[in-house]
């Protein structure tokens, strides 16, 4: 019998809902709706939390309605509802969590709270995808595997032993990889979010042109540090005239510095733990150059979701929920902006 879950995601500036179906161990997307206020936020060079929350409030009901309609499902068809309860911006999270609690109560469906960071990894478990990303079938991860999460707020390495069983290995000591893309883009006057902009310009640039730091490169831990990179870029542009050609080279050099740090520690984690599979997740996993170079350098298998499932979406939240048991008391489910992967 197929199991159907409605996923809801509202941790930052995306309001998302998706309906997923699990049948014979295959997880399929029936609908995947994302409304983003990123364009609005880009006018201000970053996210204004109050504004993001207001946009969440406007979009949440229409987005859920559209997800059900596109999936051709009624609330009675659902088995469960899954919602991101953290980490993220408290105002944004509250919109999703409280809406999900009300729907769970009214529709009499169990509610599953999902850690957004874990959710990102579960985009890798979605096998059949809707037509807008091609009807491709892909491998699902097998345990044990190393997980690299690279998003706007997090850069973490974990060792997955099974569903719900993982060991935190390390992470960034300061800025996240995506944050580093966003902040250096801002210094260069490029729009928010910076990752896609920098990676686009980087395609035409020389990654060796500028010598930028790779902090913690040689350390034997699994930690990263990216804040020095934005200072180095600030110092560099104070001394160097940046024209169109230089800008491409600088973007390529920034991207390469981030990629080098991520790949070094990820492969170190896999080799030290004798792991043959790496799963990558989060918005920065949409960076094709990161994926290409990781696949080139790692002797095992590297799984990465298609770009549309790397950035924030609700399909990943529903996917994670297929592997989590409902937790009972609705009132105990509270938005937690500080949730992490360190338990």
Binding mask 32-51 for ligand KG4 (x = CB under 6 A): --------------------
Residue 287 binds to ligand KG4 (criterion: CB under 6 A):
yes
- Cβ atoms of 318 and 4 within 8 Å: the answer is no
182: left (phi over 0), alpha (psi -120 to 50) or beta: alpha
The CA R_g of the chain, rounded to the nearest whole Å, is 20
Residue numbers 6-25 binding ligand KG4 by CB under 6 A = 12
Nearer to ligand KG4, 78 or 309 (CB): 309
> Interacting stretch for ligand KG4, rule CB under 6 A, among 53-61, 74-82, 135-143, 279-287?
279-287
Residue 182 binds to ligand KG4 (criterion: CB under 6 A):
yes
Residue 312 binds to ligand KG4 (criterion: CB under 6 A):
yes
151: which 2 tokens? 């998003």
Burial class of residue 265, CB neighbours in 10 A (0-12, 13-18, 19+): buried
Nearest-approach distance from CB 237 to ligand KG4, in angstroms:
19
Residue numbers 183-202 binding ligand KG4 by CB under 6 A = 193-196, 199
Nearer to ligand KG4, 64 or 198 (CB): 198
Which residues in this chain contact Zn ion in the complex, by CB under 5 A? 151, 312
Residue 96 binds to ligand KG4 (criterion: CB under 6 A):
no
- Residue 26: in which H helix or E strand, if any? strand 26-36
Query: How many Å apart are CA 293 and CA 297, to the nearest integer?
Result: 6
Selection from 8, 341, 22 nearest residue 151 by Cα = 341
Residue 311 binds to ligand KG4 (criterion: CB under 6 A):
yes
Beta carbons within 8 Å of 278's beta carbon, 6+ residues apart: 145, 146, 147, 148, 266, 270, 294, 298, 300, 301, 302, 303
Nearer to ligand KG4, 51 or 219 (CB): 51
> Interacting stretch for ligand KG4, rule CB under 6 A, among 16-24, 96-104, 176-184, 239-247?
176-184
Residue numbers 136-165 binding ligand KG4 by CB under 6 A = 151-153
Nearest-approach distance from CB 217 to ligand KG4, in angstroms:
20
Cis peptide before 284 (omega within 30 of 0): no
Per CB under 6 A, residues contacting ligand KG4 are: 12, 151-153, 178, 181-182, 193-196, 199, 282-284, 286-287, 311-312
């Amino acid at each position: 019998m197929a199991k159907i879950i409605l996923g809801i995601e509202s941790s930052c500036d995306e309001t998302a809902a998706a309906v997923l179906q699990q049948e014979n161990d295959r997880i399929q997307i029936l609908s995947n709706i994302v409304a983003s206020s990123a364009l609005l936020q880009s006018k201000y060079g970053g996210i204004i939390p109050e504004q993001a929350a207001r946009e969440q409030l406007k979009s949440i009901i229409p987005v859920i309605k559209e997800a059900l309609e596109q999936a051709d499902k009624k609330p009675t068809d659902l088995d469960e509802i899954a919602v991101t309860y953290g980490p993220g911006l408290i105002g944004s999270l509250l919109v999703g969590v409280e809406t999900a609690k009300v729907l769970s109560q009214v529709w009499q469906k169990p509610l599953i709270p999902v850690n957004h960071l874990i959710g990102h990894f579960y985009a890798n478990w979605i096998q059949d995808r809707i037509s807008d990303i091609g009807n491709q079938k892909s491998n699902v991860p097998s345990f044990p595997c190393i997980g690299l999460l690279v998003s706007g707020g997090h850069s973490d390495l974990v060792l997955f032993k099974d569903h719900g069983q993982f060991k935190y290995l390390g992470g960034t000591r300061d800025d996240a990889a995506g944050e580093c893309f966003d902040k250096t883009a801002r210094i260069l006057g490029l729009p928010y979010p910076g990752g896609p902009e920098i990676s686009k310009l980087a395609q035409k640039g020389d990654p060796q042109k500028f010598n930028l730091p790779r902090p913690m490169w040689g350390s034997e831990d699994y930690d990263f540090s990216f804040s020095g990179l934005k200072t180095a870029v600030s110092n560099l542009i104070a001394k160097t005239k940046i024209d169109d050609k230089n800008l491409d080279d600088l973007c390529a050099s920034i991207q390469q510095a981030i990629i080098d740090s991520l790949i070094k520690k990820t492969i170190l984690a896999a080799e030290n733990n004798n792991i043959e599979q790496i799963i990558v997740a989060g918005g920065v996993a949409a960076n094709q150059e990161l994926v290409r170079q990781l696949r080139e350098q790692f002797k095992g298998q590297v799984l990465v979701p298609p770009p549309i499932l790397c950035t924030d979406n609700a399909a990943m939240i529903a996917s994670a929920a297929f592997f989590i048991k409902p937790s009972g008391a609705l009132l105990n489910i509270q938005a937690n902006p500080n949730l992490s992967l360190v338990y």
